[in-house]
Structure 1
Amino acid sequence: MGTPLGDFIRAKRDSIQPESRGLPDRDRRRSPGLRRQDLATWAGVSVEYLTRIEQGRDRNPSPAVVKALADALRLSPSECNHLRYLAKITSEECSVHIRPVPPSRRVRPPVLRTLHLLEPGVAIVANRLGDVLAHTSGYRLVTSGTGLLDTAHPNLNRYLFTDPRARTFFADWDDIADEQIFDLWQAPTLESLEWLTAELTPVAGPEFTHRLKRHVVPRRGVLRLNHPAGHQLRLLRETLELPAEVQQLVVFLPADDQTTEAIDRLRRQSHGRLRSIS
């Protein structure tokens, strides 16, 4: 059985073209990318040890080995951080029994008051599982008619992978799916990550599990939305981390005048107030 750490290393190794590293093209290779032998040599570890890490039979590599693998794979700073995080949670999985437990949906009153100050802007409080825990009336406006907030406990991952309307609403659905999946790896707890993946895997299909193992570090560009009313919205995202709660306050700002005007038109057509979801 593999591990998040092993999956990430293998995915990065498979994504590297040998020619880009000055290695000859191998016409009869059984798999794409670098051979284990090449990566092991550059990282200064044995092929057998690298195989154990990738296959999940060694779940506690030293920080020096993790750094050597990062250097050999030529990871970006974001990818290095992700690799270190995966090494940490893979090690923790060895020492604790993971029992699926849903995360707390409580939002502290001061956070709700801060969210209220952002009215009538577009903002949410969420966690890295994709749970929308509280939102402004502006967020309800820009998601109206999409089905995203129609459930008692809205979750972006559940919406993305199970509601066909998501692929129309999010103009860059693939990029958003990669963003949400990537954030799952920094869930509030390993128990809550296990809870969500166990819940989603049967209904979200193989695309969900495939993306979960790819570990694509997202670009997080402008968020482009196709509102059902016919408006095309372009939003910038500013995120404030709330480490004590393992939550985030995300503010969505119009990226252009057309989006500002479109939101104003939506606001004139509907009046709302802050809604907290618990």
Structure 2
Amino acid sequence: MFGFFEKKKEFCCAICGSKDPQEGFRGAKGDICKNCADALEKRDLTCDDAFLFTEDQRKNLCNPALDAVELADSFQIEKAPLVLQEGEYCYYYGDACGGRIQTVTTGYTGRNKGVSVQIMKGVTYHTGGSAGQAVREQLIESSPTGRFVLTNKRFVLLTALYGFDIPGDKVQTIDVRPDGLGIYVKNKMHIVLTSDVRKIAIIITILTNATKQQQEERKQKSLETTKKRQTRKKQAPVSGADEIMKYKKLMDEGIITEAQFERKKNEILGFTE
């Protein structure tokens, strides 16, 4: 009965620690101030999304100083449940099941048993019967629980049934569903059933943005290298013959002596006295 008089919990941002409640978010899992909420929105994330991650990861999501590659690096997991390849890093692993779509017949529509008429003793005439049209539904048959692992190079489902190991560059598209993911490779869908759908989708977006940034940086570096190469061609060094002609002209004009000209010519030609 005294709960009505209990003091209201003080606002405290779960990301930056701000005590300012103005236009802040108050949720069951914690509070988020307006500045942090705006930072999340710029990454197309909600306040609820932030609580899917650790405290450090939440802070990194709200840090505008981190570019796409730096943000992705901050999500790396040190210990992975599988052997990683060279240059491969783990970003997520968690419980999941594999799945396979099966089409089953659940009934019939328009089915008619028809009418039976006794013509004489022991003789019955049956008419009007029809089998009707089958009603079919697609159901997902799931595997025993295993582990789904997401790295910067692969999508891996470690299960005894319907497991897979797919290189990231082979994935055509990913279908995000309420109960899991549909990963398409060569028009075949590999199903992952998990409760971490939103979290995985966010991490995939973070890795995709990092990959785009790296590709853009490589492209820019290639353009700069090409530009430098072209500049060097335009600024080709003066040939030895041109240098000799320059000093010959100075000699003819009386600016240098013949002895000085001969000494310079030998230097250019590589002759030593």
TM-score normalised by the chain length of structure 1:
0.22
Choose between structure 1 and 2: higher helix proportion. Answer: 1
Q: Which has the larger radius of gyration?
A: 2
TM-score normalised by the chain length of structure 2:
0.23
Choose between structure 1 and 2: higher strand proportion. Answer: 2
**Structure with the larger RCO, 1 or 2 (CA within 8 Å, 6+ apart):** 1
